[in-house]
A = this chain, B = another copy of it.
Amino acid sequence: AQKFSGGIGSKLCGGLKRRASLPPDLLPALDGDVKTLSFLQEVVDILLSYVVESFDRSTKVIDFHYPNELLQRNNWELSDQPETLDEILLSCRATLKYAIKTGTPLPAPQPGPEPQPGSEPHLSPGRFTYEVAPVFVLLEYVTLKKMREIIGWQDGRGDGIFSPGGAISNMYAMLLARFKMFPEVKEKGMCSVPRLAAFTSEHSHFSIKKGAAALGIGTESVICIKADERGKMIPSDLEKRILEAKQKGFVPFFVSATAGTTVYGAFDPLIAIADICKKYNIWMHVDGAWGGSLLMSRKHRWKLNGVERANSMTWNPHKMMAVPLQCSALLVREEGLMQSCNQMHAVYLFQQDKHYDLSYDTGDKALQCGRHVDIFKLWLMWRAKGTIGFEAQIDKCLELSEYLYNKIKDREGYQMVFDGKPQHTNVCFWYLPPGVRYMEDKVERMKRLHKVAPVIKARMMEYGTTMVSYQPQGDKVNFFRMVISNPAATFEDIDFLIEEIERLGQDL
């Protein structure tokens, strides 16, 4: 079977037959209700019997197997092709079979929630050790490796973790970069370290500054690099600012390039940035919280060319891959670094005299202690869709946004915020109601235009028909930012959006 992974993805473009990623009669298909509900009901039935079984004192608390053995007992791998719905049900059963029965009334590791209103009738283990979450530890292992292969790191080597969101993933990256350069900071704190400088584009996500504030680096040490008119970091400005910072006595330690900025959906030029990071020996992080998922698309992954040279990458399946919140991965190229950076060796959690391979006790590399199980939904979706299913979904969203772009770029009353086809699904535009469109006084016109998007959005919310974000950016007054991440949308839905904007905004 052909592999779909890594930097070689592009070679395979013609090699794989596309097919629908999910049985075509499930929702969002028209009249997909019955099939969808009966499938979901089967899942529910599995969960309900699990609840009852957990409460039966003759049920084992754990069906224990050593890590290597458990890897063999079931096929946990992620592949290009989707599985059938029956196979998905089997995966659910296997997961429950080998997981700890945290609902058992028998003496067992906490937390042991009883099934009851408000508690999800499924598994709720903390995930710091293999013994309390054997299946989920393996699923994380399999999935992170797959994601690293897709980034293009050799044999999927490296490290990683699922964290509570992209902001925290970015903070992890900054923490690792600092530790890599100055390992003494862990014990001695920032007073043992020279003044640091981090670099990111002026269009980057606010979490880079938030992280710097939290880590004791300070927001003033985050130097904002100019972006071009499309929102991409300008590499020559990056180099200039690095040199300036060095001259002022700062030590540049971290560059965060953005793959898919929040507002414009821009992709920073990763190859040029990687060259600069290499030249000055700076940790290169790619914040692909929003745009990282384009790696799953053979058509669009070129936008992240160079990502394989990064030291770390944030990638949020809970955005473009439509996994329910929260599901964010930090991927790290160097093995072992997270562990040395974060481990505290708490003997009451990470006993060294256990009877299985302790490399599966992955908890001590996290900032968290117990962690929410974010992996299962991603893993199960991947099994259900296959890599090509995610690809189809992403390609569809980009196609929809291109449709929107083509529809409005020359349409009367619209103005694009930047020229050219959007690289991600962000379409940024102004709608100018007739009363604003022909105003002579430019200052007054901008003042009026600034108020248009907020009013239209407020009206949308009151009617409840649709919702679109808006914001200003730099010296640009409020504009709409339509972001498409649900592939169930149709061209007609886009048409409807335009009609709504005009219906709700024409009197402004």
| B48 touching A40, Cβ below 8 Å | yes
Are A469 and B348 in contact (CB-based, < 8 A)? yes
Distance from A215 Cβ to chain B, minimum over Cβ atoms (Å) = 5
Tell me if A26 and B493 are in contact (CB < 8 A). no
Residues of B within 8 A of A105 (CB): 28, 486, 488-490, 493
Of the candidate stretches A56-64, A273-281, A305-313, the one touching chain B is A56-64
Pick the 4 closest A-B CB pairs, nearest first: A216-B216, A189-B218, A60-B464, A118-B380
Query: Is there contact, CB below 8 Å, between A348 and B481?
Result: yes
Copies of this chain held together in the complex: 2
Q: A190-B216, A372-B326 are in contact. Are A61 and B464 (CB under 8 A)?
A: yes
Q: Determine if B175 and A214 form an interchain contact, defined as CB atoms under 8 angstroms apart.
A: yes
Stretch at the interface among A2-10, A331-339, A351-359, A441-449: A351-359
Give Cα A130 to B221, complex, Å.
Answer: 32
- Please pick, from B111, B168, B216, B325, the residue contacting A373 in the complex, using a CB distance under 8 A: B325
23 contacts between A and B (CB under 8 A): A22-B117, A28-B114, A40-B115, A41-B44, A64-B464, A104-B486, A105-B488, A106-B466, A106-B489, A106-B493, A108-B466, A110-B485, A118-B383, A119-B324, A120-B120, A125-B325, A164-B372, A189-B212, A192-B218, A205-B346, A347-B471, A348-B469, A348-B471
| C-alpha spacing A496/B322, complex, angstroms | 46
CB distance from A20 to the nearest CB of B (A): 12
Question: A27 at the A/B interface (Cβ < 8 Å)?
Answer: yes
Contact A61 B191, CB 8 Å, known A326-B371, A373-B325: no
| Interface flag for A88 (CB, 8 Å) | yes
Beta-carbon nearest neighbor of A115 in chain B: B27
Q: How far is the CA of A467 from the CA of B60 in the complex (A)?
A: 10
How many angstroms between the C-alpha atoms of A188 and B57 in the bound complex? 58
Contact of A466 among B61, B221, B351 (CB under 8 A): B61
A185, B318: Cβ atoms under 8 Å? no
- Minimum Cβ distance to chain B for residue A132 (Å): 8
Stretch in contact with the other chain, from A150-158, A238-246, A406-414, A454-462: A454-462
Task: Map CB proximity to B onto A112-139 as digits: 1 under 8 Å, 0 otherwise.
Answer: 1111111111001110000100000000
> Looking at the complex, which of A11-19, A73-81, A362-370, A429-437 is the stretch in contact with chain B?
A362-370
Given A188-B218, A206-B346, A371-B326, A55 contacting B40 (CB threshold 8 A)? no
- CA of A43 to CA of B40 in the docked complex: distance in angstroms? 13
Please state if A165 and B107 are interface contacts (CB–CB under 8 Å). Answer: no
Contact across chains for B171 and A377 when beta carbons are under 8 A apart: no
Q: Is A37 an interface residue (CB 8 A)?
A: yes
Residue of B nearest to A39 (CB): B117
The answer to whether A369 touches B106, judged by C-beta atoms less than 8 angstroms apart, is: no
Classify the interface of chain A: helix, strand, loop or mixed.
Answer: loop
Interface size bucket, A side?
35 or more
A472 / chain B contacts, CB cutoff of 8 Å: 347
A380 CB, nearest partner CB in chain B, Å: 3
B114–A351 contact, CB under 8 A? no
Tell me, in angstroms, the Cα distance from A55 to B212 when the chains sit together.
Answer: 41
Chain B proximity mask over A368-390: 1 for CB below 8 Å, otherwise 0: 11111100111111111100000
Given contacts A484-B107, A493-B57, contact A368 B118 (CB under 8 A): no
In this complex, what residue of B is CB-closest to A117? Answer: B384
B325 touching A189, Cβ below 8 Å: no
- Contacting pair A353 B467 (CB below 8 A): no
Chain B residues with CB under 8 Å of A291's CB are none
Known interface pairs A210-B367, A319-B110, A367-B167; A118-B220 also in contact (CB < 8 Å)? no
How far apart are the CA atoms of A322 and B384 in the complex, in Å?
31
A453–B61 alpha-carbon span in the complex (Å): 18
Shortest A328–chain B CB gap in Å is 9
Report the nearest B residue to A355, measured CB to CB: B458
Question: In whole angstroms, how far apart are the Cα atoms of A112 and B119 in the complex?
Answer: 23
Identify the closest chain B residue to A484 (Cβ): B107
A342 at interface by CB-CB < 8 Å: yes
B190 and A117 within 8 A (CB): no
Most buried by B among A175, A469, A482, A496: A469
